[in-house]
Amino acid sequence: MCGIVGYTGGSQAAPILLEGLEKLEYRGYDSAGIAVFGGKEKKKEPSIEVIKAKGRLKVLFEMTDSGKAVHGTCGIGHTRWATHGEPSVVNSHPQYAKDKRVVVVHNGIIENYQELKERLVRDGCEFVSDTDTEVVAHLLDRYYEKDPVDAISKLMYHVRGSYALGILFGDRPGEIYAVRKDSPLIVGRSAGGNFIASDVPAILRYTRDVCFIENQVIVRLTGKDIQFFDVDKAELKKEFTQIQWDTEAAEKGGFKHFMLKEIYEQPKAIRDTVSPRVKDGKVNLEELHLTQEDLASVRRIQMVACGSAYHVCMTARYMVEGLVRIPVDVDLASEFRYRRPILEENTLVIVISQSGETADSLAALREAKSLGHKVMAIVNVVGSSIAREADSVFYTWAGPEISVATTKAYSTQLAAVYLLAIAMGRARGLVDEQTEADMVAELLRLPEKIERILEEKERIQWFANKFSHSRDIFFIGRGLDYASSLEGSLKLKEISYIHSEAYAAGELKHGTISLIEDGILVIGVATQSSLFEKLISNMVEVKSRGAYVLGVTSYGNYSMEDVANYTIYVPKTMECFAASLVVVPLQLLAYYVALGKGLDVDKPRNLAKSVTVE
């Protein structure tokens, strides 16, 4: 949520800031603003000019002539997602103290802002916005005595909550200060200047040399230098990482939307996740620093995630319990801490997150570690908070995922849990050498099979156009297909705004079948042979009550056509891998339904790519 960009160097800052904010639009926002040191050319004394606008970035582009009307080589920018105070110009960032002595952009939530604000008001501070961020600006102004690092250090001792801050001090032209706690922030360096940003795509055009800032680290940037300090103002040494993917990977590449591009990137993303972990037909996870003995000693798995990653966990539970024969518990990260979890000895905790910055998932990781358990992370973003704090990390290497609705990150997370399940089954002696070889070979064939599904997208588009104005759409499935139904339903609701629910098909008679009306669309997912006939019976039940039934199944299950009004087939695969195939037509269905409604597919309302607050 929210996006931060900062630049100081030898070039004009405003165009760079606006371009960077544009690359962060996927994070979700309702207003935007920039602050540039130098202001208008006619001004002689260094000053900070602040320009803010409600709505999309194009408003800010128009106000500033794409940044060319704002002169100065140092500045910060922000896209705001309203939390405290309605979307408005006055509540948008940057926020500042009187006379712009301190100017701030902020991602996160200051939990004790109200008590701090009341104290500041009693001391004579005047507030103009409803934001928690303005409290930060006034506090910094109060603490500032010619030493920015000291002022920031004092701030950190007084505020509670999450924050990534970009800060300008009015008497420090050419300098940007930054600090983070639980909200993502990176630093980039180049010959032409230095940067801060919420995410890599914002600065990738200018540099691949980045440092992922750790919690409670303060940064000072000039055009030539970068310094890091801890909360006690001691200087730190930090390592920089080379980002391997390039700017083209973060552009649409001829596709109408990032979501469609990322759907089509799934075959490559799965190859990139699986191929490096396969050697001589065997799964090799040496990067996790877990021995065969470590894997064999696991007696229980606790999986924790949010959103689509939670659905990956649901799929993993069916596969791991079936293949490895150890119990798997799955929790929503937002609920995990609050049920006071009891984790047995030799429990492996697995946290899954695309960004590696998901606030609830990060909190769950810390809870598990505080209870003395090892945590494995499955993440996409190298150097993210969850990756740094976990005991072992399984990177999915999906590349940048820009669309808010995840597709390729979900598919690579599935691939990761497949590999982990096979490795654990082998370590426990439940998967023999031939079975492992067969499963690995089929895993490597999944990308080709997904490509075959994508070749038939027109059939899905035609069907989607028929139901783009539905009011309600239901999904049903059993076992692994129920987990896939959950993901299909989420994709549909988050980008089309159609009310959609997924039900375990066996639960229909326990109340939910009362929702079926004439003409309502019910999507039945059926790839599991042992449950196929039962699912067919459930489809008959809803069809007899007036539902229009779409069947999604594997080639060969042609009896589906006796029941379904329309059928979508996916290539055959091992049933434990079927989720990777059936999700593709469900993603396309959601995409084309939203497209048919004329909606902004990549930036659905009220949603953000990375949920960095609880």
Catalytic center residues: 2, 609
The residue written with tokens 């499955």 in the block is 378
Identify the burial level of 544 via C-beta atoms within 10 angstroms of its C-beta, where 0-12 means exposed, 13-18 middle and 19 or more buried.
Answer: exposed
Alpha helices in 144-257 (DSSP H): 148-158
Read off the DSSP letter of residue 346: T
Instruction: Collect all residues with Cβ–Cβ distance below 8 Å to 279 and sequence separation of at least 6.
Output: none
Identify the helix (H) or strand (E) that includes residue 104. strand 102-110
Q: Is residue 100 classed as helix, strand or coil in its secondary structure?
A: helix
- In whole angstroms, what is the distance from residue 327 CA to residue 347 CA? 10
Name the residue among 425, 423, 488 with its Cα closest to residue 460: 488
Q: Tell me if 85 sits within 8 A of 114, measured CB to CB.
A: no
CA angle 483/488/491 to nearest 5° reads 130
CA distance readout (Å), 516 to 154, 306, 388:
59, 29, 47
502 phi/psi in degrees, rounded to 5: -115, 135
DSSP 270-300: HHHHHGGGEETTEE--GGGT--HHHHHH--E
Task: Count other C-beta atoms under 10 Å from residue 556's C-beta.
Answer: 11
For residue 280, which amino acid is it?
D
